[in-house]
Structure 1
Amino acid sequence: MTINDAPAPAAADAQPQFDEEWRQWHRRHEEARADRHGFLAVTGLHWLTSAPQRFPDMPGEWHTGESGPVVALDADEVLVVDDLPIRGRHEFGPIAERGGVTVGIDGGVLEVARRGGHDILRPRRPDHPLRVAYRGTPTYPPSRRWVLSGRFVPFDSPRPTTVGAAVEGLTHVYDAPGQIEFAVDGVPLTVTAFNGHAPGSLSVLFTDATSGVTTYPANRSLVVGAPDERGRVTVDFNRATNLPCAYTDYATCPLPPSENRLPIAVEAGEKTPYERLADSSADRS
């Protein structure tokens, strides 16, 4: 099957609609990113062990084991779990990989989660300076050139795929249902896809020749809609987005598999956040 580099040119009067649809999509994405308890509100990343320990930005003494995270609260400390105040000792039970629960703490919420085989805690507070000062993420202008036709090629069975993480030494394992084939300027390309959040959708982690130049070095992410009955998909790089690790060091984001390191420059989607550009400037000063 031949894969077209891009869809047929649209009428000129369709361009404003294309641009507006992209602006609306990106505005919604930015609003979700800046949610009062979103990733920009994370104030710490704490790794639980079998030894009880306290952390400076949350109540209780915490440890974990085969039975999952456990907290012991002092008499003047409280958590809110399922809208109920909890005092004393509380067992969360085993947490599934990439799962978690969110509980209330004074001034915010606390994420109790499991990532890369480790139980973690991440407090989130709306007044965190990263969230308060957030001014949006720079992007490339939307362009129809980067709306590509592709084909999903499923594996005979999902393949467990191990990838690195933004945290050194951590790994993630995802079941990859197949690969997506497409082309850019006549160059055939193939990327491994993971399952997306919506039923049937796909998620692609990738880097390209812009990574570390105009876009975040470690990764970008792209959601691809469910393939049709012939396996056809649309790969719209205008909607390539940063993962949380592009903004905060308190993230455990996965890195792309090696085959998803594209040799071309994808000059579309989100660029390096202003916050990371400021960090780079400080490092050079």
Structure 2
Amino acid sequence: MDDTHALWISARDNAVWAPHGIASLAATHWLDATERRFDGIPGIWCADDESAVGRELPWEVRLRPEEQTRCGELALRAKGRAGSVALRVLDPAAAARRGIARIERAEFSPSRRVAGGFTPSSRAVVAESVDGHHTETQYHGIVSFVLDGLEFELTVQREGDGSLFAAFADATSGVQSYRFRFLRMDGPDADGRVELDFNRAYLPPCAFSDHYACVFPPPGNRWTVPIAAGELVVR
């Protein structure tokens, strides 16, 4: 394993297992105009103008999506989706209550790092989330590559910083690995070339908590061959 990959693993572990990291999500409460109380958190909460609003607290709280406030050891964060808003509860003790503490990873292999070519191809697809919600998702191109002598195509989204993101499933999914995984790549160069490093395939947030609503991979990103690389399952 090279030093760069070791640093990537360290950053991932910190993002997952930090006190209010990915694995700390204890609840997601979808809000509407009706004020409600929820077990384990103070105040009464409702949605107003796509914000999560909390009252009967030391002060009124109004959280836009991705904004958060602290309540003792808890962090309360707003989550937006298709015009709706939820209140997420991040609890440092949540992972321990679920009995999870580490990520099982495949052994690092330089052969899992391959070159690919990006072809722009903008299209909208109705995608399903793990909680059954359907939403239109915009994809921005195809990355073609060869791995172990086999040709693949990966439907990707372009992020705001120019990088590429994809969700994929393979023959290990649901057996040796979680149902699907994520992969990020630096943006293509002027000739459309990209590098895919499946050593850095990583688990979606919903692998750590049932209260996330990750989107399943599009049909073209579900392969019948195994890619035993990167993060596999939570232990």
Task: Return the letter of the residue paired with 1:120.
Answer: A
C-alpha contact (below 8 Å) 2:46/2:52 kept by paired residues: yes
Aligned to 1:164: 128
Q: Could you tell me how far 1:32 is from its partner in structure 2?
A: 1.5
Task: Return the letter of the residue paired with 2:26.
Answer: T
C-alpha contact (below 8 Å) 2:142/2:156 kept by paired residues: yes
Task: Return the letter of the residue paired with 1:27.
Answer: S
Aligned to 1:113: 79
Is 1:262 matched up with 2:223? yes
- After alignment, is 252-261 or 21-30 more displaced? 21-30
Q: Distance in 2 between matches of 1:28 and 1:20?
A: 12
Cα 1:128–1:181, aligned 2, differ >3 Å: closer, same or farther? same
Aligned to 1:8: none
Aligned to 1:272: 233
Q: How many residues align?
A: 235
Q: Could you tell me how far 1:210 is from its partner in structure 2?
A: 0.4
Task: Return the letter of the residue paired with 2:204.
Answer: L
Unaligned runs of 5+ in 1: 1-17, 79-86, 275-285
Q: 2:146 aligns with which of 176, 179, 183?
A: 183
C-alpha contact (below 8 Å) 2:116/2:196 kept by paired residues: yes
Q: Could you tell me how far 1:52 is from its partner in structure 2?
A: 1.5
Q: Could you tell me how far 1:185 is from its partner in structure 2?
A: 2.8
Q: 1:246 aligns with which of 203, 207, 210?
A: 207
| Structure 2 SS opposite 1:32 | helix
Aligned to 2:169: 207
Which deviations, in whole Å up to 9, do the C-alpha atoms of 1:11-44 show, x marking residues without a partner?
xxxxxxx444322211221112111111211221
Task: Please give the root-mean-square deviation of Cα atoms over the aligned residues, in Å.
Answer: 2.0
Q: 2:35 aligns with which of 49, 52, 57?
A: 52
Q: Could you tell me how far 1:262 is from its partner in structure 2?
A: 1.5
C-alpha contact (below 8 Å) 1:175/1:195 kept by paired residues: no
Q: Distance in 2 between matches of 1:29 and 1:125?
A: 18
Cα 1:180–1:100, aligned 2, differ >3 Å: closer, same or farther? same
Cα 1:259–1:220, aligned 2, differ >3 Å: closer, same or farther? same
Task: Return the letter of the residue paired with 2:28.
Answer: L
C-alpha contact (below 8 Å) 1:181/1:191 kept by paired residues: yes
Q: Distance in 1 between matches of 2:85 and 2:185?
A: 30
Task: Return the letter of the residue paired with 2:170.
Answer: D
Aligned to 2:186: 225
Q: Distance in 2 between matches of 1:67 and 1:149?
A: 42
C-alpha contact (below 8 Å) 2:116/2:144 kept by paired residues: yes
Cα 1:30–1:132, aligned 2, differ >3 Å: closer, same or farther? farther
Is 1:21 matched up with 2:23? no
| Structure 1 SS opposite 2:89 | strand
Aligned to 1:148: 114
C-alpha contact (below 8 Å) 1:48/1:63 kept by paired residues: yes
Task: Return the letter of the residue paired with 1:258.
Answer: P
Task: Return the letter of the residue paired with 2:177.
Answer: T
The percent of aligned pairs where both chains have the same amino acid is 29
Q: Could you tell me how far 1:149 is from its partner in structure 2?
A: 1.0
Q: Distance in 2 between matches of 1:113 and 1:190?
A: 32
Q: Distance in 2 between matches of 1:32 and 1:247?
A: 12
C-alpha contact (below 8 Å) 1:141/1:268 kept by paired residues: yes
Unaligned runs of 5+ in 2: none
Which deviations, in whole Å up to 9, do the C-alpha atoms of 1:139-186 show, x marking residues without a partner?
11011221111000012xx3233321121x213433222110112233
C-alpha contact (below 8 Å) 2:75/2:89 kept by paired residues: yes
